[in-house]
Amino acid sequence: MLRLRRLKWSLIRAPALEALEDFLGENLDYDLYSERFADDLAEILQDSLPEDQAEDAQTLAHEYARNEADAVDKVKFKCIAESRRNASLHEIERRRAFLGETLRRSVQEIEDGEYEVIETTPAQGKNVA
C-alpha cells in the first residue's frame, strides 16, 4: 500500500514540478540569481561532503548551476544519500528510545513486584557424600 501511495504521489507531483520549472525558466532571468544559488549550494555541499572533498564543493556547485549532467547526478546522489542517512539515524534513535522505555518499565515492574522468601529445608533420608 505504501509503495502504491508513493507511486501515485510521484505521478501526480511530476507534472506539477515540470510545469513549475517551465514557468520559472520562462519568467525568471537565471543569470541574475545563478551565482548566489551556486554559492548557497556550495555551502550546503561543504557541510555534507567529507573534509578531503570540501574544496571541490564550489566547483561542483557552479557546474550544477550551469546544469551540467554529471554535476547534477553527483549532487542528487549526495542529497539522496544524506537524506537516507538521516532517515536511518532517526529510525535508530526511535527504536533506541522505545527499547530504553521498555527496559525501564520492565525494571520498574521487577523492583515493584512482591517477593516471597522460600526457605530451604535440608534433604531427609540419604546423605550425599
When pLDDT is averaged across residues 37-41 and rounded to a whole number, the result is 83
* CB-count exposure of residue 71 (10 Å: 0-12, 13-18, 19+): middle
The reported pLDDT for the residue numbered 75 is 78
pLDDT at 126: 60
DSSP state of 118: -
Does residue 128 surpass a pLDDT of 70?
no
Q: What pLDDT is recorded for position 86?
A: 78
Q: What's the full length of the chain, in residues?
A: 129
- 76-126 pLDDT per residue, tens: 777 777 777 778 888 889 889 988 898 898 888 888 877 777 788 776 666
Question: Residue 12 and residue 24: Cα distance in Å, rounded?
Answer: 19
pLDDT(60) > 80: yes
pLDDT: is 29 or 96 the higher one? 96
